């Protein structure tokens, strides 16, 4: 892999990750409602899911999903159902009144931290088209004349580093703004908007096809 190829890859990854999606929305919503620590836990889950999706793509699941309409549809329905469920749950959630030290206050007792990791993992893995994307995307930057494993490792680590950095920036930035959101009506509005967007994304996922 040449330096030019790698720089082209990093530019493509940056554009992809900076595009708003379910993981970024989840990160922002958790930062507002639960503080930075639990938002970062969901970030860790999402990044873990990205690694899992890349490994599955490398192992051939992408080829299976491309060849099998039934397999693709099954995973798509499961992923869409989770996003819709998460959207309804977020939409109906009670507004948290955030105090001056919102980041610390919302990181106290309540929903177990492992739940946020699982949520991040499931949101990150909810779209079967991600497997197809990595299966089609990675080969464009691999040199078949060189060993595959080191090249794949470089591409995977780069993608995960970008994903982690962007989501971390979102989580910490929003959590710093959280003390401003001291009224339940403001947080309730954020939950309504976020819940609606999660549900919309789940619905759009149901409409996706393997080849678009």
190 within some domain: no
Q: Which pair of tokens denotes residue 8?
A: 């082209």
Stretch 158-187: mean pLDDT: 78
Q: What is the pLDDT of residues 76-126, one digit of tens each?
A: 677 677 667 767 776 776 554 444 334 444 444 456 678 889 988 988 887
Domain that holds residue 169: 3-13+21-66+97-182
| Total domains present in the chain | 1
CA 153-157-158 angle, to 5 degrees, is 115
Q: What is the pLDDT of residues 127-153, one digit of tens each?
A: 666 776 777 777 777 777 778 778 888
92 within some domain: no
Cα–Cα distance list, 197 to 6, 86, 153 (Å): 34, 10, 33
Would you place residue 180 in the very low, low, confident or very high pLDDT band (cuts 50, 70, 90)?
Answer: low
Whether the CB-CB separation of 203 and 80 falls below 8 Å is answered with yes
133 within some domain: yes
């Amino acid at each position: 892999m040449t330096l030019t190829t790698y720089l082209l890859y990093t530019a493509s990854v940056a554009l992809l990750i900076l595009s708003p999606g379910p993981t970024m929305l989840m990160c922002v919503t958790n930062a507002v409602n639960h503080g930075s620590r639990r938002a970062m836990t969901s970030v860790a889950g999402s990044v873990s899911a990205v690694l899992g999706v890349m490994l599955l793509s490398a192992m051939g699941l992408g080829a299976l999903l491309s060849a099998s309409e039934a397999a693709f549809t099954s995973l798509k329905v499961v992923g869409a159902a989770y996003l819709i469920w998460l959207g309804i749950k977020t939409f109906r959630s009670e507004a948290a009144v955030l105090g001056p030290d919102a980041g610390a206050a919302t990181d106290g007792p309540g929903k177990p931290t492992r739940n946020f990791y699982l949520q991040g993992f499931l949101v990150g893995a909810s779209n079967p088209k991600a497997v197809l994307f990595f299966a089609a995307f990675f080969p464009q930057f691999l040199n078949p004349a060189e060993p595959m494993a080191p090249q794949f490792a470089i591409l995977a680590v780069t993608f995960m580093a970008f994903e982690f950095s962007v989501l971390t920036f979102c989580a910490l930035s929003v959590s710093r703004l959280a003390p401003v959101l001291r009224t339940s009506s403001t947080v309730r509005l954020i939950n309504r908007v976020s819940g609606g967007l999660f549900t919309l994304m789940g619905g759009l996922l149901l409409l996706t096809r393997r080849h678009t």
